[in-house]
Amino acid sequence: MPSALQLGILRIRMTRPTSNDLMSEYAFFEYRALLMSTPHVEEKGELVHCLIKMEIAAQNGRLRRGAELEQEAGDLVLFLINPGPHRRISHSSISKADERRLNELGPATHFNRVGNSEIYFYAG
C-alpha cells in the first residue's frame, strides 16, 4: 500500500475561528471562587477572580480541546492560589471566555506566567 508521501497527500488541520472570525492560538477561561479559612465556616472569604490565557497547542504540537484545556486552566489557578492546609476553595466556577473579555476587565491587579500560560488576577 502506498504511503501518504508517495501519493502526494497533504493533510491540514484547521483550528476553529474565534468569534471575530480570526484564527486564534489561544484559549481563554474566566475563573471565580471564594478562598475561605477552614476553621471559620461562617467567614465570608476572599473572592478570587482571574482570566487565564493559554496556548491551544500542546508541546508535541497536538491541539488540545475543551475539557482538557479547562482542566489545565483550573489546575494552573489552584497551583497559583495554593490554598494550603488552613484554607479551602469554595463556590468555584470556570467558563470559556474570549479575548474581548480580557479587554473588558481592564488592567489586572496581579499577573502571573506559568509556562506558556498567562493568568490575570482582578480585585473582587
Specify which residues 53 forms β-bridges with: 28, 118
Q: Per-residue pLDDT tens for 26-36? A: 999 999 998 88
- Measured CA to CA in angstroms, residue 43 lies from 33, 51, 90 at distances of 14, 25, 12
Q: How far is CA 76 from the centre of its chain?
A: 8
pLDDT at 19 over 70: no
Helix or strand (DSSP H, E) at 120: strand 117-122
Q: Which of 1-15, 55-69, 96-110 has the lowest mean pLDDT?
A: 1-15
Task: State the pLDDT at residue 1.
Answer: 47
Q: Tens digit of pLDDT for each residue in 52-62?
A: 999 988 778 78
Strands 26-37 and 110-114: unpaired
Share of the chain above pLDDT 90, in %: 44
Dist. CA 96–CA 48, nearest whole Å: 17
Phi first, then psi: what are they for 32, rounded to 5°?
A: -135, 140
Residue 29's CB: how many other CB atoms inside 10 A? Answer: 23
